[in-house]
Amino acid sequence: MDAGVDVIVCGSGAAGLFAALRASDLGLRVLVIEKTSRYGGTSATSGGGVWIPNHGGGSHADSREAALQYLDYVSDDGRLEKLQAYVDAGPEALKYANSLGVGFESAPGFPDYYSGAPGATTERSLFPMEMDGADLGEEFYRLRDAPSAFKLFNKYALNLEQSFALSARPFGWQWVAAKVIANYWMDLSWRRKTSTDRRLTQGRALVGRLRKAMLERRICLRLNTGVTKLLERKGQVCGVEVEAMGQRSQIEAHSAVALATGGFEQSQVLRDKYMPVPTNSAWSLTPKAANAGDALLAGLEIGADTEFLEHAWWAPSMRLPSRSIPNVDETHPMFFDYYHPHSLCVNRLGRRFVNESCPYDQFGQAMISDHKKTGSNVPCWLIFDSNFRKKYACGAILPSFVMSDDSLPLEWWDSYIFRGRSIEELAGKIRVDRDQLSKTVTMFNEHATSGNDPDFGRGTNGFDVHFGDPEVKPNPCLGRVSDAPFYAVQIDLGDLGTKGGLKTDRHARVLSKDGIAIEGLYAVGNCSGSPFGNCYPGGGGTLGPAIVFSYLAANHIAERARLNR
């Protein structure tokens, strides 16, 4: 057995790195192991936001009471003990993040995802500040890359503000694009080294700053090293068995093992076992070949309890053939694409089933609910017209003034994107009842003209309006689907990871099936059950709990180590 350290952290996403840093700063010797050849996990491929109530910044007042009122209202199956711990420790964890050099800033007016709920407000979602990747030295090249959706032309890094500007195209968006491109090409010294943008934004900025803090503390990170088994001695977890380069070995943990290996969304076997409707791992937006439920399986083997295994952080996605890798389909997020006016979403019966301007997790839940009722969702269809096509992106398909119909690969048509001169022709191509789809679009257009959506209330709450198009009247979220040609793309039930896993307490200790904490074992991030249950309270609702419970776990590990000396 390896001589060991005080704490072994399994996983190198934000949860794992944050736990490692906090434990190290509290005087413990820490080793981080990562299953893949890149560090950063799902966090590096995310927007990097953290949802932290009552953080003390922003332009709107917040309070502990308002946050708990909001969470109590929207989180039906969340556990009060963990919700209280989260709200109470959030500001403290954020302060610690700032001490590490991990700066966050609020997005003005960014609403909670249930904006009409009691206690809801804005600016609880915080986003990481950019970072110069050169500060990481050679570690820059080992950081997991951002998805193409977070880059312009899959090359130029975009921060959140730039992403919104290029998506919604408000006045001045051309200047935003020109500045991003110019900054990239004017960086001549960096261009001689690599074609990768040195700017780290969104999730890469968060992970990059955490990794920089680790380098300053000389915390060891081993890549290509995955946990295969938890080791026990006298009823306490005392280390891990790992596999590295095809060989297995054991590493001792004198104080604790902290699991931060992500969810199980990349395991089709586990998806088939736990998901509420049939899903496909290819629909997930998380890194392939990772997040296969390693922590879940290792915990189950030693008698750990679980919770919320049927839930995920739902996010609609679409697939398109890769333009660089032959015979491979890439999965692209549809976070905001279905929000735009001049579009609507229908199930495979040709009927609307959702307020299309709702947050992406709620959209996914609506897909599930409709599929359980009709058996004709998952996947569904996004229907749009030439007005949409001219102005807005649709996944990786950019607006027509950038990516014209003629420029799209011929093999995409009528396989991935469908086009018709009429709604009836389009319906025939996507095998949806022509009369029903025509009726649905006609009724939708009447609602768009009046600005009122009596069926689903699209555009009637703060969240909808915040992401609407102010140039569209009278309702910024509604626009007629009336100008040919008409288009359709399939929307899959994608996800940002599963949100069920090992059951933990307020200190992130893993619980056994009899409700007793398993000594020496902690779980944070998506390998643990979410404190919110089947709720996604706001932007950063995944990473907020990840860093807060990592902070609490490290505090508890250090205190326990101090008492045992």
Could you read off the pLDDT of 440-491 as tens digits, one per residue?
Answer: 999 999 999 999 999 999 999 999 999 999 999 999 999 999 999 999 999 9
Last residue within a domain, chosen from 493, 523, 545: 493
391 and 525 in one domain?
no
Please state, in angstroms and as integers, the Cα–Cα distance from residue 91 to each residue in 18, 72, 366, following that order. 15, 19, 33
Contact 371, 377 (CB under 8 A): yes
252 and 103 in one domain?
yes
Report pLDDT for 1.
60
* Calpha distance 253→294 (Å, rounded): 18
Contact 477, 454 (CB under 8 A): no
Establish if 184 belongs to a structural domain: no
Establish if 159 belongs to a structural domain: no
CATH code, domain with 303: 3.50.50.60
330 and 304 in one domain?
no
222 and 90 in one domain?
yes
Burial class of residue 565 (count of CB atoms within 10 Å of its CB; 0-12, 13-18, 19+): exposed
503 and 457 in one domain?
no
CA–centroid distance for 448 within its chain: 31
212 and 339 in one domain?
no
Last residue within a domain, chosen from 440, 473, 493: 493
**Structural Rg of the chain based on CA atoms:** 24
Please state, in angstroms and as integers, the Cα–Cα distance from residue 185 to each residue in 92, 155, 176, 320, 547, following that order. 40, 11, 15, 28, 35
**CA triple 220-224-228, angle to 5 deg:** 100
* Calpha distance 341→472 (Å, rounded): 8
Count of domains for the chain: 2
Q: Half-sphere exposure of 320 toward its Cβ, with a 13 Å CA cutoff?
A: 22
Contact 383, 348 (CB under 8 A): no
Contact 416, 489 (CB under 8 A): yes
Q: For residue 226, which phi and psi values (nearest 5 degrees)?
A: -110, 145
Contact 307, 500 (CB under 8 A): yes
Establish if 197 belongs to a structural domain: no
Establish if 189 belongs to a structural domain: no
Contact 14, 526 (CB under 8 A): no
504 and 410 in one domain?
no
Token pair, residue 360, equals 């992406």
Report pLDDT for 342.
98
305 and 347 in one domain?
no
250 and 136 in one domain?
yes
Establish if 153 belongs to a structural domain: no
* Calpha distance 455→447 (Å, rounded): 9
CATH code, domain with 395: 3.90.700.10
pTM of the model: 0.96
502 and 471 in one domain?
no
Phi-psi region of 15 (alpha: psi -120 to 50; beta: other; left: phi over 0): alpha
Q: What is the DSSP string of 273-296?
A: HH-SS---GGG--SPTT--SSHHH
Establish if 92 belongs to a structural domain: yes
* Calpha distance 255→238 (Å, rounded): 7
What 3-state DSSP class applies to 111?
A: strand
247 and 105 in one domain?
yes
Write the CB contacts of 179 (distance below 8 Å, at least 6 apart in sequence). none
**pLDDT truncated to tens, each residue of the chain (565 aa)?**
666 899 999 999 999 999 999 999 999 999 999 999 999 999 999 999 999 999 998 777 899 999 999 999 999 887 899 999 999 999 999 999 999 999 999 988 999 999 999 999 999 999 999 999 999 999 999 999 998 888 988 899 998 888 888 877 777 888 989 999 999 999 999 999 999 999 999 999 999 999 999 999 999 999 999 999 999 999 899 999 999 999 999 999 999 999 999 999 999 999 999 999 999 999 999 998 899 999 999 999 999 999 999 999 999 999 999 988 899 999 999 988 999 999 999 999 999 999 999 999 999 999 999 999 999 999 999 999 999 999 999 999 999 999 999 999 999 999 999 999 999 999 999 999 999 999 999 999 999 999 999 999 999 999 999 999 999 999 999 999 999 999 999 999 999 999 999 999 999 999 999 999 999 999 999 999 999 999 999 999 999 999 999 999 999 999 999 998 7
507 and 435 in one domain?
no
Which amino acid is present at 191?
R
Establish if 175 belongs to a structural domain: no
Q: What is the span of the domain harbouring residue 407?
A: 316-493
Mean confidence (pLDDT) of the chain: 95
Establish if 518 belongs to a structural domain: yes
Which amino acid is present at 304?
A
Last residue within a domain, chosen from 474, 493, 512: 493
Report pLDDT for 128.
96
Token pair, residue 371, equals 């599929």
